[in-house]
Structure 1
Amino acid sequence: MSKQATWTDDLRAFGAIKPRRSLAEEAADTLREFILLGKLAPGVPVPERDLSEALGISRTPLKEALRQLEGEGLIDYGPTRRPRVADPSMDEISENLAVLGALEALAGELACKNATDAEIAEAARFEEMMRTAPAGTDPLDFFRWDMAFHQTIVRAAGNAPLSETHHAYNSRLWRARFISSKMRTARDATLGQHEDIIAALKARDGAACGQHMRRHLEVAIVNIAAAQARLERQNTT
């Protein structure tokens, strides 16, 4: 073995340099967190000049960040093409969640046939992280684990068109799914459903896994509707 091969192998084992995150990606992360946590309420205008000054970046990366968040359904543009926090109706959310439920049900069925043992173990790891999380866990951390759990199963289905379609619909529903994820009154039921999904995955029972995945999204619709009604009551009192 040549000396060059030796040092390149050592360098590869040490780890490749991670790519730096762009200003647009960092701005999108910050704005996404503000929207999910309700610091930027639905329907609120987000003037680009004010945003760029607050974030300390130019308008070019800000526009890229807003385009990314538009694709995730968190930002939309009114008739004047000025950005604002998206405020989808409950009907629109329910229709999208119904489609997402069908996609995740199919993903569960296919994952039972195609997933590797490592992929099932990865999904189980996220399920355990949520189930054992302390009561004071940051809602955003819990939400990220929740989304990683579902995305792991979709990826394990081994179907590229399904993954692409799921990503498109799931991106539109980030805020809605966050609302469902952070409802403490429904969290025990949610965690129980996750356990059922993992049990079906480990048993390679596609029919049961698909049924649990679909039911999980149906419950999310109920949780979101309840949360929206509660917010409306708070805003009118």
Structure 2
Amino acid sequence: MSETAWTNELRNFAELKPRKSLAADAADHLREFILLGKLAPGMPVRERDLAEAFGISRTPLKEALRILESEGLIDYGPTRRPVVADPSLDEINDWLRVQGALEALAGELACEVASDAQIARIDALNTSIKEARDAEGQLAAFRRDMDFHGAIVEASGNRALLETHATYNARLWRVRFLSSQRVASRDITRREHLDIVNALKARDAAAARRALTQHLRTAEINIAAAIAEAKAETEDT
């Protein structure tokens, strides 16, 4: 997508709402553009064009870009000009393995301390993923999927774990969204989610740890395949 085309589309796409700060709202819209692949990894992000597209000054825009930088979605090169982050597969796998360990611990702790209501909510979120995909599309389903994982971590009752997980989760959003679009992996994902839910319902800490560890190992495979497929598609076009 050319620079003119994507800024015009972003202008039409972004309707800033007063319920959030301009910076937070701009970050939300730009994050979604990155997740949807409308801004490719490594693509320069021109502040002047963005400010014009959003109809805001460069001060809240810079704040929005800092938010996305903290999430690992925007990088600043030697010239301090922002680009869409393009982490290597090795970096992504490093993050995934840490996130896998965090989620495995969260599942183990949740079996011990989560309320029945929290586990019921986790179960309901899992059920809602397919419903959201059918009714609202893949992005809505992906958000429910991330809510499902976030609810497990929240149910651990460990604030430090929740904060650390949020950091890694933000860095992995783009590649996990890319992975979630692979139809070939959806049946496996559903089975693994069900294993996680069943372990939590049974309050089986060891089973919850195993199921969550396996789920993140599967994510590594899916993400590597999704990146390879996206690269091949780009080369074909």
Shared fold by TM > 0.5?
A: yes
- Letter of the structure 1 residue corresponding to residue 169 of structure 2: N
- Other-structure match for 1:11: none
Cα displacement (A) at 1:185 = 1.2
Question: CA contact under 8 A between 2:132 and 2:140: conserved in structure 1?
Answer: no
Q: 1:182–1:137: structure 2 CA closer, same or farther, 3 Å change rule?
A: farther
Sequence identity percentage: 60
- Secondary structure (helix, strand or coil) at the match of 2:83 reads strand
Q: Which has the larger radius of gyration?
A: 1
Quote how far apart the aligned CAs of 1:137 are: 4.0
Scaled by the length of structure 2, the TM-score of the pair is: 0.89
Q: Deviations over 1:152-182 (max 9, x none)?
A: 0101001111111111111111111111222
What are the Cα deviations for residues 116-170 of structure 1, in whole angstroms up to 9, with x where unaligned? 0111011111101114445464111011100100000101001111111111111
- Which residue is 2:224 aligned to? 225
Name the CA distance, whole Å, in 1 between partners of 2:218 and 2:135: 23
Per the alignment, in what secondary structure is the counterpart of residue 173 of structure 1?
helix
What is the SS of the residue equivalent to 1:111? Answer: helix
In structure 2, distance between residues paired with 1:161 and 1:212: 22
For 1:166 and 1:148, the matched residues in 2 are separated by: 13
Alignment: residue pair count = 219
Task: State the partner residue of 1:191.
Answer: 190
CA contact 1:130–1:191 (8 Å) conserved in 2: no
Aligned position for 1:128 = 127
Counterpart for residue 209 of structure 1:
208
Which runs of no fewer than 5 residues in structure 2 stay unpaired?
1-17
Q: Which residue of 2 aligns with 1:157?
A: 156
Amino acid aligned to 1:37: L
TM-score normalised by length of structure 1: 0.89
Q: Which residue of 1 aligns with 2:28?
A: 29
1:116 is aligned to 115
Distance in 2 between residues matched to 1:160 and 1:101, nearest whole Å = 17
SS in structure 2 opposite 1:76? Answer: strand
Q: 1:134 & 1:75 partners in 2: Cα distance?
A: 27
Match of 2:144, SS state, is helix
Structure 1 residues 225 and 199: CA distance shift in structure 2, 3 A: same
Deviations 1:79-112 (A, max 9, x none): 1010010000001001110111011000000000
Structure 2 equivalent of residue 75 of structure 1: 74
Contact 2:130–2:141 (8 Å) recurs in 1 = no
CA RMSD between the two structures: 1.3
- Distance in 1, Cα, partners of 2:118 & 2:134: 27
Mapped to 2, the partners of 1:71 and 1:184 lie a distance apart of 30
1:65 maps to what in 2?
A: 64
Q: Is the CA contact 2:132–2:144 (under 8 Å) kept in the aligned structure 1? A: no
- In the TM superposition, residue 236 of structure 1 has moved relative to its aligned partner by 2.0
The answer on whether the counterparts of 1:190 and 1:216 sit within 8 Å (CA) in structure 2 is yes
Whether the 8 Å contact between 1:114 and 1:157 is mirrored in structure 2 is yes
Q: Which whole-Å CA distance do the structure 2 matches of 1:132 and 1:200 have between them?
A: 23
